[in-house]
Each structure stands twice: as C-alpha cells, then as structure tokens.
Structure 1
Amino acid sequence: MAQSALVIGGTRFIGRHTVEELLENGYHVTIFNRGNHENPFADRDGVAHIEGDRREDTDLRAAALSARPDIVIDCVAYYPEDVEVAVDLFADVDGYVYISSGDAYGAEEIPKLEDRTAMRSCTEEQAVDESGETYGPRKAEGDRIVQQAGDEGVNAMSVRPCIVYGPYDYTERMDYWLDRVDTSDRVVVPGDGQNLWHRAYVKNVASALRVVAEEGEPGEFYNVGDRRAVTLEEMLELVADAMDTDIDVVPAAENELAAAGLEPDDFVLYREYPHLLDTCKLASLGWEPTAPEEAMARTVEEHRFSDRDGSEYDPGRENEEAVLDVLDTL
C-alpha cells in the first residue's frame, strides 16, 4: 500500500516540486491550502486536494483526519504558533518536516553548520509580526519548537534552504538575471562578481524534504543548498551555457555604480558577506542533489515558456548602460 503524504501548501513553487517528488517516489499526496492559486495537480491521479486555512485549527485538524498521513511537509508555516500547532497535531506521524530558512542563522560564519552556528533570537513581538524583517527570527523560533518536539518524542524535523531557484519561481529573483543574459551581450554585476550567496535548486529542496521525512532524526535541522555553490559570475556563466550564448560579465565597483546612481544592493541576489550552508549532514542521509549545470538548464527552459522577467528587480538598463560608459572610459 502506498504511503500517504500531506503537503501543507503544495501548488506554487517549493510545494509544487515537493508534490512531484513524492509522486515520483510512490506516495499518495493530499494538498491542503486555501485554494487561492491554480492547482497544477487538479487532474492528476494520486493527488487529493482539501481546501482550508492552516491557521484555522479546525481546518487543519479536518485535513489531518481526512488524509491520515504517514508524513507531513509543511511549506507555509510562517509563524511559531503555526509550528506549535502542527507538532502537536502531527505528533504521531512517521515524519513532520518544517521548512525553515538559512535566514534562521544569527551569526555570519563560513560555512553555517546546523549544530554550531547560532540561531537568531525571536521576541514575542517578532513572533507575530508579518514584516520581512522578522522572517528569520520567526523561522528560528519555529526551529526551536521542532527541536523541543523532537526531545519529547515527536518525529519532527526542520529543513533550512538558502535562496531557492528553479521552474515556477514566482519570486522572479532568478528571472531578472535570466532575462538579462537572454537579452544583453554585456551584463553588469556589482563588485568583482565573486560574491557568494548559496542557492538551492528547487528540486534539490524537494528531494531533501522527502529524504528528511523518511530518514531524518527527530528534533534535528538540515541545511539544503546546491552541493556546489557558485559565485554570481559563475551563475551567469551557467545561465549563458544553458542558453547557448556568450556574454561579457562586467564587474562594477561601488564608485562606478554610483556614477549611474546605483548601489550594489540594487542588484538582486547580491550579498556582500558570503552566505554558505554546509550540506554534509543532509548528504549523510542519502540525499543526492542535481548538478548545477542540469539545474540551470531546466530553470532556463521553463523561464523561456513563462511570462516572468524579474522586472521588479531591474535597476534600469539605462543605468547599466551609464555604468558601462563609465567603465569603457577607464
């Protein structure tokens, strides 16, 4: 008999790929969400859909009783209270996995390790705040709840992704760079192009969630990121190779950007201090990630069929042209 999985969320990005991962590995999947987005699995065998609000305890309890899951993947627990409710409700499942974040780490270390790098603190006010500034503290508090639940015998685990990219990424962070490479011969990057913000291909995240649900230790956290981290310049070279094109990656220092009214932080996926997650703990469970070359090829393929261009992150091509003019005179 096929195992049963409940995915809280499940139709947009990480959740969508997680459902596919579970189906490919023989699970019957129930999706539980509010139904605010199109369900790509509406006509798929082996997938049921229950509509409800995870923040309404009666809705979540009804979904649990209907799905009777062996494992639960929680894609949309954004507040500590969400995790508290979930670890209590799913105390008897074989595996409950909470999606946390690399932003839960409170210390800048290279690399960040699950059992050594300090987590962010979280005040009572931050725990209920919905702003982006409290995202990391809220995720860290959820991790502490998972850790305590594990100590109390609940099969609860946490997966901490870094920046996630891949097909159907509604954030469009990667789409900005994909569009730039697709439409420009010369691409401006802030700094020397060697800044490193560890990224995770979405299918690598989905497989990590399944592996941790099946093999993880209760109360433990597991980092997930691509096995090989790449710099911003290397990322653009991967994109260009996937697009079968040639580009000139043009590094621009702060003063050169300033000549066009730009700052390094105006470029999405730029981070001054390296952010690198150690993934050895996850690999020890048998997790095997997709190589960056294949991951980027699949990302590019879907991007070209989408209408996403990352324009909300665009610093303005005219501004970049001004930077190029400055650089060309040096």
Structure 2
Amino acid sequence: MDNALVIGGTRFIGRHLVSDLLENDYDVTIFNRGNHDNPFADDPRVQHVQGDRTDDEALRTAKLTVEPDAVFDCVAYKPREVATAVDTFTDVDAYVYISSGDAYETEEIPKREGVTELRDCSDEQATDDSHDSYGPRKAEGDRVVFEAASRGINAMSVRPCIVYGPHDYTERLDYWIDRVLNYDRIVVPGDGTNIWHRAYVEDVASAMRIVAEEGEAGESYNVGDRRLVTLEEMVDVIADAAGTDVEVVHAGERELAASGLEPSDFVLYRDYPHVLSTAKLADLGWESTPVEEAMRRSVEDHRESDRDGSEHDPGREAEQRVLSILDTL
C-alpha cells in the first residue's frame, strides 16, 4: 500500500496520522469540508479533496479521484457514516475506522477486544449527537465493520482510550499542564491512584497505519500507553517535563463538597479504573512512546499554544477553599 485517503486529517488525530503516513512514504490525500485550517496546505506531498463525508456522492467522488489503497476514517461519528464508507470503499486494501474505548459496556480490568462486551446502540442513539450516545454509536460502528468484513471487505477498527498530545483541541490535559505551570500546590481528587488509561496521539496515528498494514479484517485493536500512570503520577510526570516542582494535595469527597465540588469536576478523574489491553496491537509490531517523552512533547506544545484548559476548570477559588480546609486538619 502506498496511496492513502484520510477522511478528516487536519485537527488532531488525523493531523498526526497524515504526518505519520508521510514519514512512511505514503502518498496522502485528505478529504474534509475545509472548515478548519489545513496544516498541510503548503505541503505539495498532501492533496486535498473538499467535501462533506455525510454526502454519499462526495465520498464516492473522493474514491474515484484518489483511488486509494488504504482509507483512514477519523471522523465517523454515526453508524450510518461507517456503513456508507465500507460500502463505498469495498475494494481497498484496508479501511480503518476510529472507534473508542468508550465502546465497551462492561467495567472490567483490562478491557479486551472480542472478550469485553460492547455497548448496545438503539435506533435513537444511532442518530443522536449527544455525549451520552457517543460510546453506543462507536460500538455500533464497530459492528458495522465486523459485518463488512464478513462480506469480504478489508475493514478494521482501532479503539483509543483518552487521547492526548500536541494540537489537542479538547484541552483535557491542558487543564492539568496549566495548573502545574502556574501553581505550587495542585488539588487531586481522592487519593491520587485513579487510573483512566490515556493514549499519546502519535501512537494512535502509528497504530492506525500498522493496523492497515498488518491487521486482520473484522478485528478491533485497542490503543493506549503501554505504561499506565495514575492521576497523581500524571501530575508528577507533567512537572518533570516542565522542569518544576509541585505539591500534590489529596482531597476527599467531604473536603471537596465543603467547597461545592465533587471528584468528577476534575477532568480525567474516573471512579472505576478504565484500562485497555494493548497486547493485541503490540503483537502487530506496534510500540508506544515512553510516557515521559510523550509528556515532554505535550508540555512543549502547550507552551507554544493559547490553550489553557479553562473549559474544564472547577474554579481555582473553590480549590483554594479546599486547600484551606485541608491545612486546618
């Protein structure tokens, strides 16, 4: 395979995927509406076909224009979009769909492909745009991939957990980086041992390419850092990457409630550990970036951006009240 079509390709995961494909000598075309700045606009190696992926005719036109060997679907959010794509690209060498670790229904450690149950998806959820239906929609997209493979289509999926790294427009990690860069004492809910598996974005990009090259039709592959860190360890890794020292202050539910907060107000906190097995992907030859290096690149990008994670801020004044309460205990 040497000719790739990336549906999406300009914002976050798709942007890193395009870079990874270029580094591995692919001819790359991106297909999107053009609503966001194209970081590859001045790169002659990257072609651009403009169109809406929800427009079936536009998708067919992209196929006829590019004649891709591999298709990477970064922006399929509804099952119908996946169904249209697999039927459009029936004869490609690989169609890779980005699913999500949120597609899993059962809470178990770790969550394994083909073993851990997926979420159900109702007809209403399949067409809904809300956050609550995101996991069910991704799970149904996986089932579309499985069915397509049963018809001989070389369709596969990757399931990343929480993705972080340069150009992350969600700003989830940016909240914690901003706290570390600006404060000496960082409030962490609970005892700091909460685990929500994360995946460095460049590793998600390389995983998609490797799955296209080495994966099996009808299979899904989890993607996540090979080394997991707790919430407190993540703060420490950020501090090391930033070259600073911080004090992590644990706050229980009672102390948080006294300031009108609860643990879930802190982004990347999760009561039950969310852990994905990545052994299946590793068996294809995939490797992940060491967490320390991934965080160094993330902090460097944060400093060069205008992102501060303020959308996720529970309020520094409330945190200060928590710190004052804890200081009196």
- TM-score, normalised by the number of residues in structure 2: 0.99
1:95 is aligned with what amino acid?
A: A
The alignment status of 1:105 with 2:104, answered yes or no, reads yes
SS in 1 for 2:91: coil
The alignment status of 1:239 with 2:233, answered yes or no, reads no
Q: Distance in 2 between matches of 1:189 and 1:324?
A: 11
- What is the identity percentage for the equivalent residue pairs of Structure 1 and Structure 2? 69
Alignment of structure 1 residues 214-293 onto 2, 5 Å: 214-293=213-292
Instruction: In structure 1, list runs of 5 or more residues that go unmatched.
Output: none
**Structure 1 match to 2:121:** 122
**Structure 1 match to 2:82:** 83
1:283 is aligned with what amino acid?
A: A
Alpha-carbon deviations, 1:41-68, whole Å to 9, x = none?
A: 0011210011100000011111111111
SS in 2 for 1:145: helix
Q: Distance in 2 between matches of 1:312 and 1:39?
A: 25
Q: Distance in 2 between matches of 1:210 and 1:225?
A: 15
SS in 2 for 1:29: strand
Displacement of 1:288 after TM fit?
1.1
Alpha-carbon deviations, 1:72-129, whole Å to 9, x = none?
A: 1000000000010111111111110000000000100000000110000011111111
CA RMSD of aligned residues (A): 0.7
Alpha-carbon deviations, 1:186-213, whole Å to 9, x = none?
A: 0001101100000000001000000001
Q: Distance in 2 between matches of 1:7 and 1:278?
A: 26
Q: Distance in 2 between matches of 1:281 and 1:145?
A: 21
SS in 2 for 1:157: strand
Alpha-carbon deviations, 1:147-189, whole Å to 9, x = none?
A: 1111211110000000000000000001000000000000001
1:31 is aligned with what amino acid?
A: I
**Structure 1 match to 2:23:** 24
**Structure 2 match to 1:11:** 10
1:193 is aligned with what amino acid?
A: G
Q: Distance in 2 between matches of 1:295 and 1:122?
A: 34
Q: Distance in 1 between matches of 2:114 and 2:124?
A: 26
SS in 1 for 2:90: coil
Alpha-carbon deviations, 1:2-22, whole Å to 9, x = none?
A: 811000000000000000000
Instruction: In structure 2, list runs of 5 or more residues that go unmatched.
Output: none
**Structure 2 match to 1:328:** 327
SS in 2 for 1:49: strand
Q: Distance in 2 between matches of 1:288 and 1:313?
A: 31
Q: Distance in 1 between matches of 2:173 and 2:287?
A: 23
SS in 2 for 1:36: coil
SS in 2 for 1:257: helix
Q: Distance in 2 between matches of 1:133 and 1:323?
A: 30
Q: How many residues align?
A: 329
